[in-house]
Amino acid sequence: MTSWSGESLGVVSVGFAPVKGTRHARRPEAQFDAEGPVGDRRYCLVDVERRQVLKTVQHPSLLGVTAELRGQELAMTLPDGRSVCAVPATHGEVLTCDYWKRKTDLSLTHGPHAALLSMWLGRPVRLARAPRGDIVFDAPVSIVTTASIGELADRVSRPELIDEAARFRATFVVDTDAPFAEEAWQGREVSLVGPDHGEVRVRIGAPIPRCAVIDLDPVTGERNARLLRALADYRPANEFGEPLFGVYAEIVSRPGLR
């Protein structure tokens, strides 16, 4: 087991979703710049009439949708196998939306993606290109640790939880020995070392407040766990009563940082 030595952490997995709210998948080939993983939440789905970005907690069926960047093309696949793959073209059509009380200008795209997702969700939506970092709740990078997941798994008698780490939609899952030790690292710089992406140096930020998304199956979107309530029973919470699990981080440097 690779644990925190004071300077480095062993990475178990790296993951993100190129379309906000869709399935969070492992991306061992991920590259990083100052804003986090390149391609992370590059696109989002919007309700044009309401000027709203769709969120997973309100649309759990998004978790059944896989999205993959293939050069300039975006491939999206539904659980029943129906899929599209095309370049999401933009023609200067901009929609200003409110995202967590922040204004963001989204570039609406044209192509087959909107029709596929509108059919799947049962409502009209558009695929939009988002400015880098505009549709993230807080910091661009998040971290959960194996020891913290293991501790929660023991409390809820769910040993498979470590294999369901995508529930927490973290950029990095890292290997540790002590549960919640990461909360004492705030403000420190550590290196995240993995076999595929090499070394990424980050500055650890604040703990992450959690919502009901962690109760959703990360593949189907089915509500099949009670993790949020379990965390609320014993974990510190923010001013809104949301229990804390994992930490935010910012990219400091990496070889060839763009």
What's the CA gap between 238 and 133, in Å, rounded? Answer: 23
User: 183-202 burial by CB neighbour count: b if 16+ within 10 A, else e?
Assistant: bebeeeebbbbbeebeebbb
Phi, psi torsion values for 199, nearest 5 degrees: -115, 130
Provide the β-strand partners of residue 26. 15
Query: What are the C-alpha distances in Å from 10 to residues 98, 216, 240?
Result: 37, 27, 33
Q: Which of 136, 130, 141, 127 is nearest to 104 (CA)?
A: 130
Short-list 40, 34, 71, CA closest to 169: 40
Averaged pLDDT in 10-residue chunks for the chain of 258 residues: 61 96 94 91 95 93 97 97 97 90 92 97 96 82 97 96 95 96 94 83 96 96 96 96 97 65
Residues 188 and 160 sit within 8 Å (Cβ to Cβ): no
CA-nearest of 80, 7, 74, 4 to 39 is 74
Q: 3-state class of 163 per DSSP?
A: helix
pTM attached to this predicted model: 0.91
β-pair type (172-174, 8-16):
antiparallel
Q: Provide the 3-class DSSP secondary structure of residue 8.
A: strand
The 10s digit of each residue's pLDDT in 181-201 is: 999 999 999 999 987 767 899
